[in-house]
Amino acid sequence: MNIHRYERWWLTFGVTMLVAFLALIGFAAFADNINPPSDMQQIDPTKVAQTPPFDRPGPRRTGADSYEAYYVARVFSFDPAVLRVPAGSLVRFYVTSADVVHGFFIPKTDINMMAVPGWVNTQEHRFTRPGEYLLICHEYCGLGHQDMFAKIEVR
Amino acid sequence: MQAMTQVRAENRVVIAHVYTATAAIALGAVFGVFQGFARTSAFAAPAWFDYYRVLTMHGVLMALVFTTFFITGLALFVTYRAIPRERKLGMGWFGWGLMLVGTAMAAATILRGDATVLYTFYAPLKASPWFYLGATLLVLGTWVVAFEVFENVNYFRKANPGAAVPLVVFCAAATFVMWVVATLGVVAEMGLLIPWAFGWTPGINVMLTRMLFWYFGHPLVYFWIMGAYVIWYNIIPLRYGGNVFSDGLTRLTFIMLILLSTPVGIHHEFMEPGISPAWKMLHTITTYGVAIPSFITAFAIFASFELAAIKAGRRGFIATVKGLPWNDPTFSGAALGMLLFILGGFGGLVNASYSMDTVVHNTIWIVGHFHVTVGGPVALTFLGAAYWMIPRLTGRALWKPELALFQTRLWFFGMLIMSLSMHYAGLLGAPRRTADVGYLGASGANAWQPFMLLAAAGGFFLFCSILAFVAVAVGTLLQNAKTEPMEAAFATPAQPASATPGALQHLYRWGALALVLAVAAYAGPLGELLRHPGYLAPGMRTW
């Protein structure tokens, strides 16, 4: 089968682009540790209220400017509804769902993950700019899905 | 005379498939246009308006019903015409009947409000079991059509030993080989969901159902794309007096799509727990791989344009572009769809990227992406192809071809406006699948509102465009007399087909290899999930 010279050039160009993109993604993953959330911890969603640390949702201070924040997602709210942290804080979020699948998304940050019943998911973000951030459920979870949001106040 | 009776009988089967698709896109458009406006703050929906029920209906009708009925109709049409013979049509009708009954069951449960689970039906949201059964019947009906296409391929091979299967039939059959491999995932998922929905099993492994869904859910989009490629390679070149650029490369493209469409689904699950980063990276790489057959296709189309221009004595880029039949609705639909696909390809590379997906996952960017893909190259090509098929099916000249041409252009502009607005609003953080994105006036949400309004305006143009399509499709049946010949010709290769290597003539062997690749890509993540069985969720009805 004859493949035209121009087509060989075009395919070489296309495949080179793909390899270059993959190399960049790989570099970000291995050198800069930019990975999607992939937590393997499991939890019984029917016992979230009794299982530490999700029995007391909210922030824990873990260092001079670092926090862990534990969230429970359930139809149609997040607990805690408001999180207050100082500007410059590095916050590691942990979330689990007590019922159906929810989303956990803070626009304009690195936080975007799924809250699946039976599993804990985690991601972290440094809040450098003060202001009010919106935390929204971005996976359809039922009739009140559009009402499922919380706030993060960075001061 | 005998042959003409046979052709008319075959046409009736295809008409049933294609006009069911027409009904689906018409209804889907009605449900779609309401959503666009409901999401804006300027046009708040009345309290009785059930956004999520309407969204479920729109998604099911457009993504699962319109596309599937059109592709089954197209595959039967090209198979019947390219392999003329005395044949029984029972399978074509049986497949259509199963698909229609399944669609009716699923639609009835959605309209009653018993299946407001969107077209992804993520557990533990639990719909009526009749919804899952209906969706399963729809898939099983497509398997019957696949069997009919394969049976004709086998007949041709037996009757013409050593001859290559006609290219258009090869492409259609390859589409269904890929589809059978891919739908195994959703049928397995239904095997878990149906007994659970009936209450025979107490709980369900949520992550397992999601993984099985996406095993099917991404190749679903390649099923649509392959349907459009069948048209781009085999039907469109004749509109501008061109040829298939290369028989061998076309077959290679479809074989690559058989192989690479399925082992990619986990790129829809990057943000989920319970799947190790290594598997997510693997599926990023395989998803990038499936771009290669699209590169080949892009080259083949432009090369075919240029060769046709040279044949007609036109030289140079501008003369080549100007010489194309832009006033032909069939060509216009396909070509404008190709332009939209360029945008879709750019966005797709972002979505499939292991780390960049964090920026866009589950935002309305994704909705913009799949509207500019399934609603761009796929739907617009299908509508254009319908303008070519309908006269050949009915013997009637197309009613108001100028309206058909206007329809394709209106669609293009409507889709550009809607899709670009959705992409941009997604980058600002607007979520998908949400009835009201105002969040009680929260500061971040205000920035999205103008783009929601623009998206609704684009959606309104698309709605008008579909009305125009339905007017032409139905008007042809009602208004015009049977004056047209019903012959259908397919593009022939510029190179002689004998240059195609034998390895590119196979279908089922590549299908078997595709299954092996799919199992290889999923064995790791699936094994990981099964080693962490954990919680089994009871069903919940949160709507």
Q: Is residue A140 a contact partner of residue B52, using CB atoms and an 8 Å limit?
A: yes
**Angle of helix B67-82 versus helix B379-394 axis, rounded to 10:** 50
CB pairs under 8 A between A and B: 205
Q: Do A140 and B52 touch (CB under 8 A)?
A: yes
pLDDT mean over B470-498: 86
> B281 contacts in A (CB within 8 Å)?
25-26, 29
One domain for residues A24 and A94: no
What is the pLDDT at residue B496?
A: 62
One domain for residues A30 and A63: no
Q: What is the mean pLDDT of chain A?
A: 95
Query: What domain count does chain A have?
Result: 2
pLDDT mean over B251-260: 97
Query: Which of A28-37, A75-84, B8-17, B133-142 has the least mean pLDDT?
Result: A28-37
Q: What is chain B's alpha carbon radius of gyration, rounded to the nearest angstrom?
A: 23
One domain for residues A147 and A76: yes
Instruction: Note whether A10 contacts B: Cβ–Cβ < 8 A.
Output: yes
What is the pLDDT at residue B441?
A: 83
One domain for residues A97 and A52: yes
The answer, yes or no, to whether residue B216 has pLDDT greater than 80, is yes
Q: Is residue B395 a contact partner of residue B484, using CB atoms and an 8 Å limit?
A: yes
> B354 contacts in A (CB within 8 Å)?
25, 29, 35-36
Q: Is residue B532 a contact partner of residue B279, using CB atoms and an 8 Å limit?
A: no
Distance of CA A128 to the CA centre of its chain: 17
Instruction: Note whether B345 contacts A: Cβ–Cβ < 8 A.
Output: no
Whole-model pTM: value is: 0.96
Instruction: Note whether B427 contacts A: Cβ–Cβ < 8 A.
Output: no
Instruction: Note whether A103 contacts B: Cβ–Cβ < 8 A.
Output: yes
Is it true that the peptide bond before B124 is cis, omega within 30 degrees of 0?
A: yes
One domain for residues A30 and A9: yes
Give just the sign of the alpha carbon dihedral A121, A55, A50, A72.
negative
Q: Which residue of A has its CA nearest to B431?
A: A138
| Residue numbers of the domain that contains A29 | 1-35
Give the tokens for residue B321: 């572009």
> A9 contacts in B (CB within 8 Å)?
none
Percentage with pLDDT > 90 across chain B = 89
In CATH, what number is assigned to the domain containing residue A72?
2.60.40.420
Name the phi and psi angles at B322, rounded to 5: -65, -30
Distance of CA B532 to the CA centre of its chain: 34
Contacts of B196 (CB under 8 A, 6+ apart): B123, B126, B203, B204, B539
Q: Do A14 and B537 touch (CB under 8 A)?
A: no
> B540 contacts in A (CB within 8 Å)?
99-100
The answer, yes or no, to whether residue A1 has pLDDT greater than 80, is no
One domain for residues A76 and A127: yes
Residue at A40 is within a domain: no
In Å, what is the CA distance from B468 to each residue of B122, B325, B383, B462, B472?
35, 21, 11, 10, 6
Cα three-residue angle A6-B261-B70, rounded to 5 degrees: 95
Yes or no: domain B2-438+456-531 corresponds to CATH 3.40.50.11720:
no
Q: What is the mean pLDDT of chain B?
A: 95
Percentage with pLDDT > 70 across chain A = 100
The answer, yes or no, to whether residue A24 has pLDDT greater than 80, is yes
Q: Do A29 and B281 touch (CB under 8 A)?
A: yes
Residues 112-141 of B with CB under 8 A from A: 116, 118, 122, 124-125
Alpha-carbon distance A115 to nearest alpha carbon in chain B (angstroms): 7
What is the pLDDT at residue B166?
A: 96
DSSP string, B279-300: HHHHHHHHHHHTTHHHHHHHHH
Q: Do A38 and B445 touch (CB under 8 A)?
A: no
One domain for residues A28 and A62: no
Cα–Cα distance, B518 to B263 (Å, whole number): 5
Helix (H) or strand (E) holding A103: strand A102-105
Tens-place pLDDT, residues B346-400: 999 999 999 999 999 999 999 999 999 999 999 999 999 999 999 999 999 999 9
One domain for residues A90 and A122: yes
Residue at A133 is within a domain: yes
Nearest to B433 by CA among B19, B48, B8, B51: B51
> What are the residue numbers of the active site of B?
218, 222, 369-371, 432-433
Residue at A126 is within a domain: yes
